[in-house]
Chains A and B, each alone.
Chain A
Amino acid sequence: MAGFVSIHNLRKSFGAFEALRGISLDIAEGEVVCIIGPSGSGKSTLIRCINRLEDFAPESQISVAGIPVTTGRSLAAVRAEVGMVFQSFNLFPHLTVRRNVMLAPMRVRGVSTAEAAERADKLLTRVGISEQADKYPGTLSGGQQQRVAIARALAMEPKVMLFDEPTSALDPEMVGEVLDVMKSLAHTGVTMIVVTHEMGFARQVADRVIFMDAGEVVEIGAPAEIFANPQHDRTRHFLSAVLNH
Chain B
Amino acid sequence: MDIFQTFFNIDVLVRTFPLLMQGLWVTVQLGLCAIIAGLALGLGLALVRIYGARPVRLIARIYIDVFRSIPLLVLLIIVYYALPFVGIRLSAFLSALSALTMVSAAYTAEIFRAGIEAIPKGQFEASGALGLSYRHMMVDVILPQAIKIVIPPLTNNSINVIKDTALASVVAMPDLLKQATQAQALAANPSPLIGAAIIYVAFLWPLVAWVSRLERRFGGGTR
Q: Within the complex, what minimum Cβ distance (angstroms) separates A95 from chain B?
A: 8
What chain B residues lie within 8 Å of A79 (beta carbons)?
128-131
- In the bound assembly, the distance between CA atoms of A86 and B126 in angstroms comes to 8
0 or 1 for each of B124-148: is its CB under 8 Å from A? (1 = yes): 0110111111001000110011001
What chain A residues lie within 8 Å of B123 (beta carbons)?
90, 92
Interface residues of B in 166-223 (CB under 8 A from A): 223
Closest to B141 in A: A92
B140 touches which one: A83, A91, A107 (CB < 8 A)?
A107
Q: Is chain A's interface secondary structure helix, strand, loop, or mixed overall? A: mixed
**Pair B129/A51 contact, Cβ less than 8 Å:** yes
Range for the number of chain B residues in contact with chain A = 10 to 19
Query: Quick check: is A80 within 8 A (CB to CB) of the other chain?
Result: yes
- In the bound assembly, the distance between CA atoms of A92 and B130 in angstroms comes to 12
Query: Quick check: is B87 within 8 A (CB to CB) of the other chain?
Result: no
Q: Is chain B's interface secondary structure helix, strand, loop, or mixed overall? A: helix
B133 touches which one: A76, A83, A162 (CB < 8 A)?
A76
Contacts known (A90-B122, A92-B123, A93-B223); A82 close to B141, Cβ less than 8 A: no
- In the bound assembly, the distance between CA atoms of A86 and B130 in angstroms comes to 12
- In the bound assembly, the distance between CA atoms of A187 and B130 in angstroms comes to 22
Q: How many CB-defined contacts (below 8 Å) exist between A and B? A: 60
B145 touches which one: A94, A107, A108 (CB < 8 A)?
A94
Query: Quick check: is A111 within 8 A (CB to CB) of the other chain?
Result: no
Query: Quick check: is A239 within 8 A (CB to CB) of the other chain?
Result: no
Query: Quick check: is A104 within 8 A (CB to CB) of the other chain?
Result: yes
**Pair B131/A92 contact, Cβ less than 8 Å:** no
Closest to A92 in B: B141
Closest to A100 in B: B126
Q: Within the complex, what minimum Cβ distance (angstroms) separates A109 from chain B?
A: 9
**Pair B144/A84 contact, Cβ less than 8 Å:** no
Query: Quick check: is A193 within 8 A (CB to CB) of the other chain?
Result: no
Closest to B139 in A: A107
- In the bound assembly, the distance between CA atoms of A51 and B128 in angstroms comes to 9
Top 4 nearest A-B pairs (CB, nearest first) are: A90-B122, A90-B126, A79-B131, A84-B129
B residues in contact (CB < 8 Å) with A: 120, 122-123, 125-126, 128-133, 136, 140-141, 144-145, 148, 223
A residues in contact (CB < 8 Å) with B: 51, 53, 76, 79-80, 82-84, 86, 88-94, 103-104, 107-108, 152-153, 156, 162
Name 17 interchain pairs, CB-CB below 8 A, sorted by A: A51-B129, A53-B129, A76-B131, A76-B133, A80-B131, A83-B130, A84-B126, A86-B125, A90-B120, A90-B123, A91-B126, A94-B144, A94-B145, A94-B148, A108-B130, A153-B130, A162-B129
